[in-house]
Amino acid sequence: MPIKVNLRHLEEEGVELEGESSPEDLELDTKDEAIQAKRPLHYELQVEELEDSLLVQGRLELVLDCECVRCLKNFPYKLTLDPYTLHLPLQGDEAAPVAGDFVDLTPYIREDILLELPRHPHCKPECGGLAGMSPAANSTTESAPSEGKVSPWDELNKLKL
């Protein structure tokens, strides 16, 4: 179910929103095979109206099903946005669309979640990678070119600019 707030309820005081929203409702497509959103988003939000805008504060929590980029094991990754804050204008060029008396917070929450996704998920920081791999194969640092090897920079070094 999309996360919507009724503006009429905000006229007197703030509103508390708490619940879960499915990945389908959030339209949460990570576009990454190593990160899958299959579980619901849990949210606890306080929404207040400030002049011509909304202030949303609270907590978002989503458990992602990830695949370690080093060892390829599946593991859960807990994505937590705490504290979560969103300032949403209701007037002007960047105003949030109002349908009836409702403002849909879902697209803004989706964007903030996508910005917080892990770039290269690791099951644990000290993950050694696939079993049987040599440490040199797992190394992410390049060693200096050894004597006698041809460097790709050699031809560029010959240029006289």
Number of domains in the chain: 1
Report helix, strand or coil for 109.
helix
Is beta strand 53-67 parallel, antiparallel or unpaired with respect to 41-50?
Answer: antiparallel
Q: Confidence class of residue 133 from pLDDT cuts 50, 70 and 90?
A: low
Q: Is residue 14 part of a domain?
A: yes
Unique residue bearing structure tokens 């011509």: 52
Give strand ranges (E) for the chain: 4-6, 15-21, 35-36, 41-50, 53-67, 74-89, 98-99, 102-104
Instruction: Decide if 149 is inside a domain.
Output: no
Contact 41, 24 (CB under 8 A): no
Most confident of 11-20, 54-63, 115-124: 54-63
Does a structural domain hold residue 108? yes
Answer whether residue 90 is part of any domain: yes
Asked whether residue 54 is assigned to any structural domain, the reply reads yes
Could you tell me the pLDDT band of residue 148, with boundaries at 50, 70 and 90? low
Is the model's pLDDT at 143 over the cut of 90?
no
Q: Token pair for residue 56? A: 């949303």
* 20 beta partners: 42
Direct distance between the N- and C-terminal alpha carbons of the chain, in angstroms, rounded to an integer: 62
Residue 35: inside a domain, yes or no? yes
* Residue 107, domain extent: 4-131
Can you tell me the distance from the alpha carbon of 112 to that of 116, in angstroms, rounded to the nearest whole number?
6
pLDDT in tens, 43-66: 999 999 888 899 999 999 999 999
> Is residue 120 in a domain?
yes
For residue 150, being part of any structural domain is answered with no
pLDDT tens-digit series, residues 91-112: 888 888 888 889 999 999 999 9
Cα-flanking dihedrals φ and ψ of residue 30, to 5°? -75, -20
